[in-house]
């Protein structure tokens, strides 16, 4: 890994901190390493597209850090225990509930959906974190942590060990500074018998006396399982230290989960430090029915998008076309529009690649890519850098790729180098993907690509022979199988598969 530059490259990075509700210049605690923690998936079902938006956001944040010259340690946890069906302290453990419903073991369910999640991450070109941190592998750490905070901050009930939020004068500050339209914390928390305050939360959940849970551990508070909030405090501290740079999650976490993590962190360190200098939250992906959520059911997965013939990177492009703090509305049409934009980019870049003379554009090193570029390209890159430094303003950065593509006055290689540099942040694989790679067969397609191409070749021959009747017959034969032949398609895409 390259040495840390004495100062970051380009425009100073400014990030919006949910804790202060203000944008502030970013300075890492340790100039040699930015430390980031992202709340990870609860692996009781497939991730939905909203969940994946959260990880496109963290990946973009990480890429921006690296683009600016920082080294990054990024931890994402895998929640395989403790997350309840209600966001607070009642209801079943989501994992236990899924096991009951399917008759499978929790461990099998967790392994299956963890793999599925990682597959989605890779399909979206999201970089693997430095560490995947699995909750059930840290239960001992959680027990030790809880032992330290229990005497001063917790009380026991039959149902477990609870954190008393009144022991901290600033509990809920992260949510409390919320805008007037945010849901007040209290109204979303279900009562549990004996809790001293509605916001008190479980640190340890005792197993019911008459029930053997699939996942339970011995503890000073009896057999049971850790509360969900505990894992993130424990694992972030273990791998990133008591105070690190950035903690991310979806905006729903600002109201409860992250308030509770902060409470635990403050109890543990005996200070007012929250655990992270910046708390950053992505806004929701919504659909016509509101926020996309697993509990509502009927949600869309990445696979369902792919099954409709849409390449997963079109979903990535769709996400980065909006600012991470804005709501984003998902619809088939919106993602299809992103696919069209991606096709144009891929076509434009592949055409340049075909004409390139040098190979520098194939490196992944910003300095090498940008060295000696002509003024027009540098100007575009400077505006790109200023946009991403402005709290990751990707919607403003993205059109600069299109602008560089159309800069006829600068050489093919220089255009490629500038775009390759931008793609380090965008992560659209523009330097490697081609037209064929972008084409995805819808799940219910009745014809293979090879068959389509063979018929298209016959049709080309028929047209060369001026046998238009045969050419039309072949086009109709393809249409009967859902393949639209796109003669004169301005994108030069030749054909598209349409679902019935």
CA count, 13 A, side-chain hemisphere, 448: 3
Cα 275 to the chain's mean position, in Å?
22
The item of Zn ion, ligand AMP, none sharing an interface with residue 226, based on CB under 5 to 8 Å by kind, is: none
* Nearest residue (CB) to ligand AMP, 37 versus 268: 37
Q: At closest approach, how far in Å is the CB of 173 from ligand AMP?
A: 19
Contact 162/203 with Cβ under 8 angstroms?
Answer: yes
The item of Zn ion, ligand AMP, none sharing an interface with residue 82, based on CB under 5 to 8 Å by kind, is: none
Fill in the DSSP letter of residue 79: B
Binding stretches for ligand AMP (CB under 6 A): 39, 41-42, 50-51, 53-54, 79, 249-250, 252-253, 282, 284-285, 291-293
What's the Cα-to-Cα distance from 284 to each of 43, 87, 228, 316, rounded to whole Å?
Answer: 19, 16, 21, 15
3-state DSSP of 427-487: CCCCCCCCHHHHCCCCCCCCCCHHHHHHHHHHHHHHHHCCCHHHHHHHHHHHHHCCEEECC
- Alpha-carbon distance of 36 to 239, in angstroms, equals 10
- Alpha-carbon distance of 64 to 169, in angstroms, equals 36
* Nearest residue (CB) to ligand AMP, 48 versus 343: 48
**Segment lying near Zn ion (by CB under 5 A), choices 46-54, 227-235, 354-362, 397-405:** 227-235
What's the Cα-to-Cα distance from 488 to each of 352, 474, 485, 491, rounded to whole Å?
Answer: 21, 17, 9, 8
Tokens of 266: 């403050």
* Nearest residue (CB) to ligand AMP, 54 versus 404: 54
Q: At closest approach, how far in Å is the CB of 107 from ligand AMP?
A: 18
* Nearest residue (CB) to ligand AMP, 58 versus 125: 58
The item of Zn ion, ligand AMP, none sharing an interface with residue 282, based on CB under 5 to 8 Å by kind, is: ligand AMP
* Nearest residue (CB) to Zn ion, 185 versus 342: 185
Q: At closest approach, how far in Å is the CB of 299 from ligand AMP?
A: 8
The item of Zn ion, ligand AMP, none sharing an interface with residue 232, based on CB under 5 to 8 Å by kind, is: Zn ion
- Alpha-carbon distance of 114 to 336, in angstroms, equals 28
**Segment lying near Zn ion (by CB under 5 A), choices 154-162, 230-238, 345-353, 484-492:** 230-238
- Nearest residue (beta carbon) to ligand AMP: 250
The item of Zn ion, ligand AMP, none sharing an interface with residue 192, based on CB under 5 to 8 Å by kind, is: none
452 binds Zn ion (CB under 5 A): no
Q: At closest approach, how far in Å is the CB of 165 from Zn ion?
A: 17
Fill in the DSSP letter of residue 46: P
Q: At closest approach, how far in Å is the CB of 147 from Zn ion?
A: 21
Contact 15/24 with Cβ under 8 angstroms?
Answer: yes
Q: At closest approach, how far in Å is the CB of 263 from Zn ion?
A: 13
* Nearest residue (CB) to ligand AMP, 66 versus 252: 252
The item of Zn ion, ligand AMP, none sharing an interface with residue 110, based on CB under 5 to 8 Å by kind, is: none
**Segment lying near Zn ion (by CB under 5 A), choices 90-98, 224-232, 238-246, 356-364:** 224-232
* Nearest residue (CB) to ligand AMP, 246 versus 285: 285
Span 8-37, contacts to Zn ion by CB under 5 A: none
Q: At closest approach, how far in Å is the CB of 251 from ligand AMP?
A: 7
Q: At closest approach, how far in Å is the CB of 235 from Zn ion?
A: 9
Cα 54 to the chain's mean position, in Å?
4
Beta pairing class for 160-163 and 154-157: antiparallel
3-state helix, strand, coil in the chain (%, to 5): 45, 15, 40
Residue 220 backbone dihedrals phi, psi, to 5 degrees: -60, -15
H or E stretch including 379?
helix 375-389
The item of ligand AMP, Zn ion, none sharing an interface with residue 292, based on CB under 5 to 8 Å by kind, is: ligand AMP
Q: At closest approach, how far in Å is the CB of 117 from Zn ion?
A: 15
Q: At closest approach, how far in Å is the CB of 428 from ligand AMP?
A: 20
- Alpha-carbon distance of 13 to 458, in angstroms, equals 56
* Nearest residue (CB) to ligand AMP, 250 versus 309: 250
Q: How many CB atoms lie within 10 A of CB 277?
A: 20
Contact 97/82 with Cβ under 8 angstroms?
Answer: no
- Alpha-carbon distance of 246 to 17, in angstroms, equals 9
Span 36-55, contacts to Zn ion by CB under 5 A: 39
76 binds Zn ion (CB under 5 A): no
Q: At closest approach, how far in Å is the CB of 323 from Zn ion?
A: 23
The item of Zn ion, ligand AMP, none sharing an interface with residue 285, based on CB under 5 to 8 Å by kind, is: ligand AMP
Q: At closest approach, how far in Å is the CB of 229 from Zn ion?
A: 7
* Nearest residue (CB) to Zn ion, 47 versus 438: 47
DSSP for 380-433, please give it: HHHHHHHHHHBT--HHHHTHHHHHHHT-TTS-HHHHHHHHHHHHHHH---TTT-
* Nearest residue (CB) to ligand AMP, 51 versus 421: 51
232 binds Zn ion (CB under 5 A): yes
Tokens of 464: 């060369």
- What's the CA dihedral at 481, 482, 487, 491 to 10 degrees? -140
Question: Using CB under 5 A as the criterion, which residues of the chain lie in contact with Zn ion when the complex forms?
Answer: 39, 232
């Amino acid at each position: 890994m390259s040495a840390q530059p004495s100062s970051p490259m380009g425009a100073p990075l400014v990030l919006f901190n949910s804790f202060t509700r203000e944008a502030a210049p970013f300075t890492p605690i340790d100039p040699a390493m930015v430390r980031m923690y992202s709340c990870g998936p609860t692996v009781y079902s497939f991730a939905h597209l909203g969940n994946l938006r959260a990880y496109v956001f963290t990946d973009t944040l990480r890429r921006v850090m690296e683009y600016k010259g920082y080294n990054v340690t990024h931890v994402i946890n895998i929640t395989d225990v403790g997350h309840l069906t209600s966001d607070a302290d009642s209801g079943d453990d989501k994992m236990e509930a899924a096991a009951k419903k399917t008759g499978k073991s929790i461990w099998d369910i967790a392994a299956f959906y963890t793999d599925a999640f990682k597959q989605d991450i890779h399909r979206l070109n999201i970089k693997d974190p430095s560490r995947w941190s699995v909750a059930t592998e840290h239960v001992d750490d959680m027990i030790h942590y809880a032992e330290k905070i229990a005497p001063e901050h917790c009380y026991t009930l039959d149902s477990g060990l609870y954190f008393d939020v009144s022991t901290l004068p600033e509990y809920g500050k992260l949510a409390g500074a919320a805008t007037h339209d945010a849901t007040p914390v209290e109204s979303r928390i279900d009562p549990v018998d004996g809790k001293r305050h509605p916001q008190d939360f479980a640190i340890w959940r005792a197993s019911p006396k008459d029930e053997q849970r699939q996942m339970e551990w011995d503890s000073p508070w009896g057999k049971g399982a850790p509360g969900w909030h505990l894992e993130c405090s424990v694992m972030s501290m273990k791998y990133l230290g008591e105070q690190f740079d950035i903690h991310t999650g979806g905006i729903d976490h600002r109201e409860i989960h992250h308030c509770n993590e902060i409470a635990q962190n403050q109890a543990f360190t005996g200070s007012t430090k929250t655990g992270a200098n910046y708390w950053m939250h992505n806004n929701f992906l919504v659909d016509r029915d509101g926020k996309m959520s697993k509990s509502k059911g009927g949600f869309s997965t990445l696979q369902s998008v792919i099954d409709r013939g849409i390449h997963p990177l079109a979903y990535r492009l769709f996400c980065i076309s909006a600012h991470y703090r804005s709501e984003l509305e998902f619809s088939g049409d919106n993602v299809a529009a992103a696919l069209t934009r991606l096709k144009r980019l891929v076509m434009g870049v592949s055409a340049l690649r075909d004409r390139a003379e040098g190979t520098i554009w194939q490196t992944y090193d910003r300095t090498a890519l940008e060295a000696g570029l002509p003024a027009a390209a540098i100007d575009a890159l400077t505006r790109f850098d200023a946009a991403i430094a402005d709290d990751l303003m990707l919607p403003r950065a993205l059109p600069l790729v299109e602008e560089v593509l159309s800069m006829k006055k600068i050489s093919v290689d220089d255009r490629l180098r500038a775009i390759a540099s931008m793609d380090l942040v965008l992560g659209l694989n523009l330097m490697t993907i081609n037209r064929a790679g972008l084409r995805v067969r819808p799940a219910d397609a009745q014809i293979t690509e090879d068959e389509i191409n063979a018929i298209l070749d016959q049709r080309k021959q028929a047209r060369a022979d001026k046998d238009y009747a045969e050419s039309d017959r072949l086009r109709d034969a393809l249409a009967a199988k859902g393949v639209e032949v796109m003669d004169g398609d301005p994108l030069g895409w030749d054909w598209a598969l349409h679902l019935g």
